[in-house]
Amino acid sequence: MREDMLASILSELNGTSADIEASAVISTDGLMIASVLPQGMDEDRVGAMSAAMLSLGDRTSGELGRGELEQVLIKGDNGFVLMTHAGEDAVVTVMAKPRAKLGLIFLDVKRASENISQML
């Protein structure tokens, strides 16, 4: 039931912008909780990479005196990966197209993360 509700939030998030290609809720340990990923995308890899990058972002932000981490953004030739906390024990990861309007996506991801953190 909880997984269905989380998947519903992710589906709604993906529907807010044609630029969002995938989204997932992942435990900080890297285990997939819920996802809306394209066919053929490896859930385990998405989970492990998201947890690792968020952990590194947390450490970097703290060690360099930047305060509490809000998000990690990765830009590649084929698009963006955005990770943000959803409570203390989960991460929301979103993959977006290369020409995505990031301002709108940041806002939508923040709202979704708040809703997800209340459910977890």
- pLDDT tens string 32-48: 999 999 998 999 999 99
Average pLDDT over residues 20-32: 94
CA distances from 72 to 2, 3, 39, 54, 84 (A): 26, 24, 25, 7, 6
- Domain locations along the chain: 2-119
pLDDT value of residue 41: 92
**What's the mean pLDDT in 90-111?**
94
Report the mean per-residue pLDDT for the chain: 92
CATH class in words for 2-119: alpha beta
Burial (CB < 10 A; 0-12, 13-18, 19+), residue 61, is: middle
The pTM of this model reads: 0.91
The pLDDT value recorded for residue 3 is 82
Element (H, E) at 34: strand 32-36
- Answer whether 13's CB lies under 8 Å from 84's CB: no
